[in-house]
Amino acid sequence: MYREQIDAYIDAHKEQLIDDVMKLVRIDSQRTQETPGKPYGEGPAEVLEAAKELMDSYGFATRNYENRVVTGDFNEKEKQLDILAHLDVVPVTKDWTVTDPFQPVIRDGKIYGRGTADDKGPAMAALYAMKAVKDLGIELDYNVRLILGSDEECGSSDLVYYYGIEKEAPMSFTPDADYPVINIEKGHFSKKFHGEFEDCDALPKIVKIHGGDKVNVVPANAEAVILGLEEQTALDAAKKAQDETKVKFTVTKNQDEIVITAKGVAGHASTPEVGNSALTALLQLLAGLPVAPSRGFEKIRALAKLFPHNDYYGKGMGVEMEDEISGKLTMNLGVFQYTPTSINGQFDSRVPI
């Protein structure tokens, strides 16, 4: 009986639900620099406030936890279920063709816009499930709390903060995965690495590498600057690497410097095989260049062996493993920077149970 009522309610409120999803998608909620009272920047704080206003207007008791998390309670009874969703989004790229990332449009029955699937759309679906039950007057013996975070894409420090204050409910789920349900989750192992070494004046030499912005995203863009290298040598290396990796390389000359840019395909770190890493492809190219020996170049070549291009499963590190329940370990070099005296990077690995 209730299922038919709820289905009819959702059908009747479909346009309102879509409008609410698009209202949140219009807010650029990428994490940015912290400002007073806004630990994840302006956008995440703005989207939390917008969601709070929606929950307030639909009759739920709400609370803002220091612009990290907002919650909406179904009733005042003992809490039995936490629904965990998030309103921050991964960094945008220049690959959008249907619309700009934060200008949602509907085409062929789909909403296009950053966050519609991950995770603003599912968050609103959960809210409307609660709204349907509430508006239909269906009594619940316990409380359901919708918990909307704003730092899931950068490590979930929002939930660490929240659960440092509040007790977990006996049951929880998150509408942020494949339909209909995933009942296990791999371990998450993400670590930074750093190294320092002396500069070397011998030419040619690599003076800069930069790739990736978020550790849990396969880098779609990377760039290297090389001093004293012949342009034709760089062009030949770029063509060879492009043929091998299918990453697009561009070589430009600026006085004595050669700039090599790599354009790959972004993807989530939990499924790195969906993307095509510009960063690991660039490291492969650079490791084969005839540059002068140096400690820095040794590090680049070592990293190219540890993170070979299209090695999604940790073979280069010697940590490849899998189990029947949760599948293969995955590995993603998400962020990397190089100067003639230092390296800094971070990788993201999802580890089988």
pLDDT of residue 94: 81
Q: Identify the structural domains of the chain with CATH numbers, from first to last.
A: 2-183 (3.40.630.10), 189-351 (3.30.70.360)
Q: How confident is the model at residue 178 (pLDDT cuts 50, 70, 90)?
A: confident
Q: How confident is the model at residue 154 (pLDDT cuts 50, 70, 90)?
A: confident
119, 152, 158, 348: the catalytic one is: 152
pLDDT of residue 1: 73
Least confident of 148-162, 168-182, 260-274: 168-182
Question: pLDDT (tens digit, 9 = 90+) per residue, 204-219?
Answer: 999 999 999 889 999 9
Terminal-to-terminal C-alpha distance of the chain: 40
pLDDT of residue 226: 98
Cross-strand partners of 312: none
Task: Tell me which DSSP letter residue 291 carries.
Answer: P
Catalytic-residue membership of 178: no
pLDDT of residue 155: 85
Distance, in Å, from the CA atom of 262 to the CA atom of 93, rounded to the nearest integer, reads: 14
- Per the CB < 8 A criterion, the answer to whether 73 and 127 are in contact is no
What interhelical angle do 278-287 and 295-306 show, nearest 10? 130
Catalytic-residue membership of 49: no
Question: pLDDT (tens digit, 9 = 90+) per residue, 77-101?
Answer: 999 999 999 999 988 888 889 999 9
Q: Give the DSSP H/E element, type plus range, for residue 301.
A: helix 295-306
pLDDT of residue 126: 97
Residue identified by tokens 């770190």 is 269
20, 28, 46, 88: the catalytic one is: 88
For 102, 108, 272, the CA distances from 22, given in Å and listed in that order, are 9, 16, 28
- What's the whole-number mean pLDDT along residues 267-277? 94
- Per the CB < 8 A criterion, the answer to whether 149 and 158 are in contact is yes
Contacts of 352 (CB under 8 A, 6+ apart): 186, 187, 321, 322, 323, 325, 326, 327, 328, 329
Say if residue 180 is preceded by a cis peptide, omega within 30 of 0. yes
- Per the CB < 8 A criterion, the answer to whether 248 and 263 are in contact is yes
Average pLDDT, the chain: 96
How many percent of the chain have pLDDT more than 90? 93
Distance, in Å, from the CA atom of 62 to the CA atom of 56, rounded to the nearest integer, reads: 6
Number of neighbouring beta carbons within 10 Å of residue 50:
17
pLDDT of residue 344: 98
Structure tokens at 301: 């070549």
Structure tokens at 197: 């070494």
**Strand 79-86 with 105-107, pairing:** unpaired
